[in-house]
Amino acid sequence: MKRFDVIEHTADTGIVAYGADLKEAFANAAYAMFSLMADLECVEEKVCRQIEVEADDRESLVVSWLNELLYLLDVERIVFRRFNVVELSDTSLKAEGWGERLDATRHNLKSGIKAATYHMLRVAKDSRQHSIRVIFDV
């Protein structure tokens, strides 16, 4: 199954991430975000972080989750490449993320993402799969 699509947005970049369940869609949204910033094929799984976020509703949870990962990228310099969403409700998420410290010489870094925004944010489900649409400020 396709993990995500990139969508066009003039000033910024967006993605639609897919999953057989919502947990998988959340994991794929995070994977999509990091794949916009680095070549994840070159990133190894050397460190693991437990991540917990809360929000008012499911859409806000997407923004909180992705912005938490951007915070970890800035502060701990971790580029994540794999995610396992362990617990998920409408207002909270527990996950594990694997990756390694950012290395400009190996990771083929692209433009950074400033933030995940609430603009055009959508969490949806059709007969086949769950999807999450989010626009990033690049």
Partner 1 sequence: MARWEGPLNKIGEYRWEIPKSYKQGMRVPGLIYASEEMLGSIREEQAADQVANVAFLPGIVGRSLAMPDIHWGYGFPIGGVAATRVDDGVVSPGGVGYDINCGVRLLRTNLHESEVRPRLEKLLSELFINVPSGLGSTGKIRVGKREMEEILTQGARWAVKRGFGAKEDLEVSEEEGCLKGADPDKVSTRAKERGTPQSGTLGSGNHFIEVEVVREIYEPAAAGVMGIDEVGQVLLLIHTGSRGLGHQVCDDYVRTLRDAMRRYDIEVPDRELACAPVQSPEGRDYMAAMACAANYAWANRQCIAHWARECFVRVFGKSLRDIGLEMVYDVAHNIAKVESYEVEGRKLKLCVHRKGATRAFPVGHPDVPSKYKQIGQPVLIPGDMGRYSFVAVGTEGAIRESFGSVCHGAGRTKSRHAARKGVRDADVAMELASRGILAKAASRGGLAEEASEAYKDVAEVVEVCHRAGLCRKVLKTYPMGVIKG
CB closer to partner 1 out of 45 and 56: 56
| Minimum distance of partner 1 from residue 73's CB (angstroms) | 7
| Minimum distance of partner 1 from residue 77's CB (angstroms) | 6
Residues near partner 1, by CB under 8 A = 6-13, 37-39, 56, 59-60, 63, 67, 70-71, 73-75, 77, 102, 104, 108-112, 114-115, 117-121, 135, 137-138
Give the CA dihedral 24, 10, 58, 129, nearest 10 degrees: -40
CB closer to partner 1 out of 23 and 51: 51
CB closer to partner 1 out of 89 and 112: 112
